[in-house]
Chains A and B, each alone.
Chain A
Amino acid sequence: MGRALDSLAAALGLAGLAVASGLVTVARLAAEGPGPSTVVPLLITLIAGGSALVRLSSREGWPSRVATPLLFGLILLWGWEVVVAGFQVPRILLPAPSAIGEALARAWPTLAADFWQTFVRSVIPGYAIGSGAGFLVAVAIDRSPFLQRGLLPLGSMISAMPIVGIAPIMVMWFGFDWQSKAAVVVVMTFFPMLVNTLAGLAAAGAMERDLMRSYAASYLQTLVRLRLPNALPFIFNALKLNSTLALIGAIVAEFFGTPIVGMGFRISTEVARMNVDVVWATIALAALAGSASYGLISLVERGTTFWHPSFRK
């Protein structure tokens, strides 16, 4: 009997019970408001959900690895919904997840157009140019000590400029459309890439470099076959960091002048119109985009740097 209770099926069963009673709680809150009828399903959800989480997180195997964060996320969303409904929190202060989901569905064409304008037209070109430029300048600095003394301090100065200061200037230089937002993203992503690539290029060991020298390898051969592969973990570090910075930069830059489409524009105008659920829907979309791009880069990193000690079990 004890062994049976330890099984995956039992854990998933408890999770299912938690989800079901969670839905019942939300439905009863929506229909009748907070009261005695909601207490029992609430307690069942908490106890079953907590128990399921404990069991799932201590298990091995991919079903548990997927189910644990999923269940935890669902319980958090459920908790949010219950608190907002139970305490009658005003909609303009904090909308419930159901209201946000409904706003997402209702405003989907607008939000999709905003996503296209911000992410595809501003973030991606800016990210590519900024990271690419950072990488190339790092290789150049590595080659030439003169550039190292001249460019590196300049790079750190550029990175210290606040985006709320650069953004209006970029709008004046590059106009209102995606070019100015991409320019802001370039400024933001340049320095992390530069610094990380430089650190990566220095990562190859002295013994390995000596070995290449003994093979009469040229600078380019050493760079391509030894030093760049060793620099990859650092470069991916910068790429992951830049993916979040790029999204932030593009959204904030849109507060300062934009054609009337874009995620930053949507957030600033809808908050002024008190459509806070649309603001949250945009935030949710931005979070999803940011996590998805981070995950994608991590996947590519895994594929190319599988040899690195950090991936050993």
Chain B
Amino acid sequence: MRKLAAMAALAAGMLGAGGAQAQDKLTLQLKWVTQAQFMGYYVAQDKGYYKEVGLDVTIKPGGPDINPSQVIAGGGADVVVDWMPSALATREKGVPLVNIAQPFERSGMMLTCRKDSGITKPVEFKGKTLGVWFAGNEYPFLSWMSKLAFSTSGANPDVKVLKQGFNVDPILQKQAQCISTMTYNEYWQIIDAGLKPDDLLVFKYEDQGVATLEDGLYVLESALKDAKTVDKLARFVKASLKGWDYAVKNPKEAADIVLENDATGAQTEKHQARMAEEIAKLVGKDPKTVGRLDPAAYERTVAVLMAGSSDPVITKKPEGAWTHEVWNKAMGM
């Protein structure tokens, strides 16, 4: 009886000691599956940067049917990684997303074409079949086609569009002359499948003047009204940017950390190491401004999205879609 009482007291004491350091919980929803595209967040978690600032972060990987905007609208996450076109379109539909940080300054999106299709420049897309992902990733493409004055829908479109799945089969099987690829992912899948860089022609969205801002951190507007939440978010941004800084400087180690966190076991070291190096090229280079959304880049993205003549992605200029409040607070810490 006395032994039982002593053990109970010991257990209670241990629980009490463990509960003393309550860390703030935060859930991050990624845009896609666990891969080096998100290495900054995994590095920050692995190296203890989140713990240092008193955060207990849960990173939820995305996937084919997971739309980050819907997850945050449904209350499944505190912060999401999303692309700006999708976030602005969702904002217009009534889900008030606000950009709090923009680690990626350059776009990695490009259209990869087979040289044997005869295409040498964008005006030659007419009459060809192009593959595009949908689920939020089609907006930059539709804006580009609008800029080239090509119709994509209706009975006789100038350009035939395929909704491609998340693989590169259409270009390998010649079902499409060009497909959408990211510099860091699908392009290398095509190379791994046997085509050589000499067989392919790439059109980078950055070079075509239709690039939009990609991976950024978004929260719901209501989160920014509470000072404690803003403080939590600022700590999160600070630790994440520290993770990105480390990842960009040590891509190989970052790739290894991502692989350790990959629950599916589907990723390979070669692919992730390559992805880490390509992603490092997209992150902001200036340590004094990395993560701070550049208002000029934001305006360029909005202009691209509103330019679609028949079917613009957004119909009016968004108000209050971004804030520097969290980033400024993070830098001041």
Contact = CB atoms under 8 A, between A and B. Distances in A.
A113 to B, nearest CB: 8
Nearest to A272: B135
Given A176-B175, A260-B152, A265 B93 contact: no
Nearest to B89: A273
B94 A265 contact: no
Contacts of B173: 172
Interface in B60-99: 67, 69-70, 73, 89-90, 93-95
B95 A274 contact: yes
A216 to B, nearest CB: 58
Nearest to A264: B163
B295 interface: no
Contacts of B161: 259-260
A273 B90 CA distance: 7
Contacts of A269: 134-135, 138, 163
Given A90-B94, A260-B161, A176 B70 contact: no
Contacts of B170: 176, 257
B153 interface: yes
Contact of A274 (B70, B134, B138, B153): B70
A272 B160 contact: no
A92 interface: yes
B231 interface: no
A34 interface: no
Interface in A265-304: 265, 268-269, 271-275
Contacts of B153: 260-261
A38 B165 CA distance: 49
Interface residues of B, number: 25
Interface in B116-156: 134-136, 138, 152-153
B162 interface: yes
Given A176-B170, A259-B163, A260-B162, A272 B136 contact: yes
A272 B83 CA distance: 13
Nearest to B73: A92
B253 interface: no
A175 interface: yes
Given A90-B94, A272-B135, A168 B70 contact: no
Contacts of B189: none
Contacts of A261: 153
A272 B165 contact: no
A91 B95 CA distance: 10
A20 to B, nearest CB: 33
A242 B152 CA distance: 34
Given A272-B135, A273-B136, A258 B95 contact: no
B169 interface: yes
Indicate the member of A91, A256, A259, A274 with the most B CB atoms within 10 Å. Answer: A274
Contact of A257 (B90, B95, B135, B163): B163
B197 to A, nearest CB: 25
A259 B135 CA distance: 15
Contacts of B95: 92, 274
Contacts of B73: 92
B229 interface: no
Nearest to B161: A260
The 3 closest A-B pairs by CB, nearest first: A272-B135, A274-B93, A269-B134
Interface of A: 90-92, 168, 171-172, 175-176, 256-261, 265, 268-269, 271-275
6 contacts: A257-B164, A259-B160, A269-B135, A273-B136, A274-B94, A275-B93
Given A259-B161, A272-B134, A274-B95, 14 more contacts: A92-B73, A171-B165, A172-B169, A256-B165, A257-B164, A257-B165, A257-B170, A259-B162, A260-B134, A260-B161, A268-B135, A272-B135, A272-B136, A274-B70
Interface of B: 67, 69-70, 73, 89-90, 93-95, 134-136, 138, 152-153, 160-165, 169-170, 173, 175
